[in-house]
Structure 1
Amino acid sequence: MRSQWALRWLPFLVMVPVALIDLLAGPSLGFLPLLTLGPSFGSVYGSVRRTALIGVVALTICIPLAYYNGSLLKWQNNLTIATIVSATGASMLVSHLRLKRERELANVRLVAEAAQRVLLRPVPRKAADLQVALSYTSAAAEARIGGDLYEVVTTPYGVRLLIGDVQGKGLDAVETAAWVLGAFREAAYDEPELDDVSERLESSLARHLSGEKFVTAIIAEVRDSEIVLLNHGHPPPFLIALGGKSCTVEPPDEGLPLGLGPLGAGRPKAHRVPFREGDQILLYTDGVVEARDDSGDFYPLSDRVHLLRASEPQEALDALRADLVGHTGGPLLDDAAMLLLRRNGS
């Protein structure tokens, strides 16, 4: 990348002009102390050894120029050499501390991402008469450990699924996602009614969440000719009919996110939506619709659902993901999970 190339060569790009200016200006103006910028910038990118090498290069430039200017053994030049040596030593220490910190952060991220991968196990590509496609796009490095979660399970009561987004990021969000997924995987098999599954998740989070933390989520169950949805403050899914017509599936009543049940009113009501052969439904997290381009415009998902008409659901979802990344022009600022269900014939 250009930024990495610039950081790598910045110390030399600074020292060369300093040497040329000092050579042209002569001994009357002393620019050699500015050579300390070389090792200082060197500590920003690269190893301790490379920073030391840059300091040696600075001295290699300083001593011949001092000799040329006739100031090699004068106290001013001795002070300049001492300054370069001191700046190089300090820069080497800064480089060592920076690399140590980067290794610690990398280890923490690896542990968190490994835990997240264990939690977000691969969903089945087929469940009953459904084809399932999944897309999960990690955010930028500084925010990539998020709390997006999803699951698809086949139970005695039908195919049930969950998609959600935990408030916040980092290890706390991963831990909360673990509680939600564990409670859902157990309740989905045990509870005959979808409302009871929701109640189990609420009870589980009430024991483990503190303060005003919450999880937006959609819990769904696929039945013979319909899909039943419980929306806990989550972005509404898109239903794409066989003929190509698409619409958002807005809940009849606004439901509170999971974890805010103790606040009282706002429990979501199950609503049934026709879901027949050839129909598709797209569930997603807010990282999709809140992705912005360079102008600050949100991703227009409603204008892009036509990309989901490909013959294979995973190919269709991959095309939508590529369009999303192209819209932002770079890494996303938040995780973006998408789950696409396509109904086949019995």
Structure 2
Amino acid sequence: MIRTWARRGGTAARAARARRTFILVLPGLWVLAVLLWERCAAADGQFLQLLAAAPAIACAGTGRRQCVVLGGLCALLALLPLGADPGAHALARIGTCCAVLVVVAASYLTAGRRLRLLRELERTKEVATAAQRVLLRPLPARVDGIVVAADHLTADEAATVGGDLYDVMATRHGVRAVIGDVRGHGIGALGTVAAVLGSFREAAHDEPDLGAVLRRLERALQRHLRERARAEHPASGGAEPDGPLSEEFVTVLLVEIGQDGAVRTLNCGHPWPYRLSRQGALLEAPDEPMPPLGLFPLPAELPVVACPPLLPGQAIFLHTDGATDARDAHGTFFPLPRALDDSVRSVRDCRPACVVEGVRTALLRHVGGPLSDDVALLVLCNDRWRVPAQADAAPSARGRVRAGQAE
């Protein structure tokens, strides 16, 4: 994956350099073309008025300094008698020179405002990117013997985080992961994503039972929606206003992987994961999921599903419905199982990053344009068989610590 990103970065840098070179040369080519046209056509200064466009092109593409230099050159060229009769069209040449100077002044002021706005936009994008990375932080490559790989694609080009959420954490109760999909996509869903993820990051460590974690998520979502409703409908005071927020919901899939590879899940309206092995991908759909969070209250008894153990070398693939709902130009849905099989069979070892990269590439190739919904991809691979000594050494280390405390 690192080599792939390096190749993409090199290609983008070369394209940017070529674009800057073209923009820098374009005003000069325009001036040269006008002069050649004027000279060959013997128009006696009729085409020199086109020189006024060169400073505007320079300001739009390069900067104010190039605009002033090129504008002064164009103003001098406009005064030159290029026709057969040097005295003819003198007033036209003077008018062209004045027009060039006016364009230079206007372009100079416009370019200054444009540069200030661009600098403010860059600062705003840096702050927004930093905030979004804190919200959907990059996952570590390994969490307590579980190899992790994830990717996220947003339907909103202005955002790096949308309505999909995921996180993986190592707790004393096992490795716990969450993946979810907020109703809607883009920047408008960030508040709900923050509320759900913030609650999960606290509850995953505090609650020994997976059902208690889900109830904490439900309470956090309800509290967030109430606060949003009061902020958007201040006339309601402390009452619960009726509005579109009553239709907000979040699909959530909680996964817990124990030290022995046991997998326990809780599903609220989310797609079931796929189990990956060397034979390919197999959909795990043991039962109908519960309704998404926010639509109905959780039942008194939460149906925690015990999935088959995750053996060493096996992995589970979690995703949001943006992957299965993606369509091409002909309306054909993205064949996720086939893309998973191709990605799994193309690697020889437990390499979730290669699987995620293969599915992402196949998805973008299938869509061939902008996405209609956010997409989140997450792979968890059991790689604990590689470090058996750590598992054996941990109890003895704890025993030595307890013996030292007793002494």
Of 55-64 and 68-77, the range deviating more from structure 2: 68-77
**Amino acid of the structure 1 residue aligned with 2:60:** V
Aligned residues: 342
2:379 aligned residue (315, 340, 343): 340
Distance 1:292 1:98 in 2: 38
Q: Contact (CA 8 Å) 2:262, 2:307: kept in 1 or not?
A: yes
Q: Counterpart of 2:62 in 1: which secondary structure?
A: coil
Partner of 1:238: 274
Distance 2:363 2:261 in 1: 34
Q: Counterpart of 1:43 in 2: which secondary structure?
A: helix
Partner of 2:35: 19
Q: Contact (CA 8 Å) 1:112, 1:174: kept in 2 or not?
A: no
**Amino acid of the structure 2 residue aligned with 1:311:** D
Q: Summarize the Cα distance change of 1:28–1:124 in structure 2 as closer, same or farther, 3 Å threshold.
A: closer
1:305-316 matched pairs, under 5 angstroms: 305=340, 306-308=342-344, 309-316=347-354
Work out whether 1:273 is the aligned partner of 2:311. no
Distance 2:214 2:330 in 1: 39
1:183 Cα offset (Å) = 0.4
Work out whether 1:203 is the aligned partner of 2:219. yes
Partner of 2:111: 95
Q: Which segments of 5 or more consecutive residues in structure 2 lack a partner in the other structure?
A: 1-14, 229-244, 389-407
1:340 Cα offset (Å) = 1.3
Distance 1:255 1:343 in 2: 27
1:37 aligned residue (53, 65, 69): 53
1:161 aligned residue (151, 155, 177): 177
Partner of 2:74: 58
Distance 2:98 2:360 in 1: 54
2:95 aligned residue (72, 79, 96): 79
1:184 Cα offset (Å) = 0.4
Q: Summarize the Cα distance change of 1:252–1:52 in structure 2 as closer, same or farther, 3 Å threshold.
A: farther
Partner of 2:394: none
1:87-236 matched pairs, under 5 angstroms: 87-136=103-152, 142-166=158-182, 167-170=184-187, 172-209=188-225, 210=228, 211=245, 212-223=247-258, 224=260, 226-236=262-272
Of 201-210 and 291-300, the range deviating more from structure 2: 291-300
User: Which one scores higher on RCO, CA 8 angstroms, separation ≥ 6?
Assistant: 1
Of 3-12 and 150-159, the range deviating more from structure 2: 3-12
Q: Summarize the Cα distance change of 1:73–1:12 in structure 2 as closer, same or farther, 3 Å threshold.
A: same
Q: Contact (CA 8 Å) 1:279, 1:342: kept in 2 or not?
A: yes
- Work out which of the two has the higher radius of gyration on C-alpha atoms and give 1 or 2: 2
Of 108-117 and 191-200, the range deviating more from structure 2: 191-200
Partner of 1:284: 319
Of 134-143 and 78-87, the range deviating more from structure 2: 134-143
Q: Contact (CA 8 Å) 1:109, 1:145: kept in 2 or not?
A: no
Q: Summarize the Cα distance change of 1:87–1:287 in structure 2 as closer, same or farther, 3 Å threshold.
A: farther
TM-score w.r.t. the length of structure 2 is 0.69
Q: Counterpart of 1:44 in 2: which secondary structure?
A: helix
RMSD: 3.8
TM-score w.r.t. the length of structure 1 is 0.79
Q: Contact (CA 8 Å) 1:313, 1:340: kept in 2 or not?
A: no
Distance 1:291 1:206 in 2: 30
1:181 Cα offset (Å) = 1.6
> 1:83-102: CA deviations, max 9, x gaps?
11111222222222222222
**Amino acid of the structure 1 residue aligned with 2:310:** R
> 1:281-338: CA deviations, max 9, x gaps?
1123456556778988765432232323442425524642673587379997576543
Distance 1:4 1:71 in 2: 41
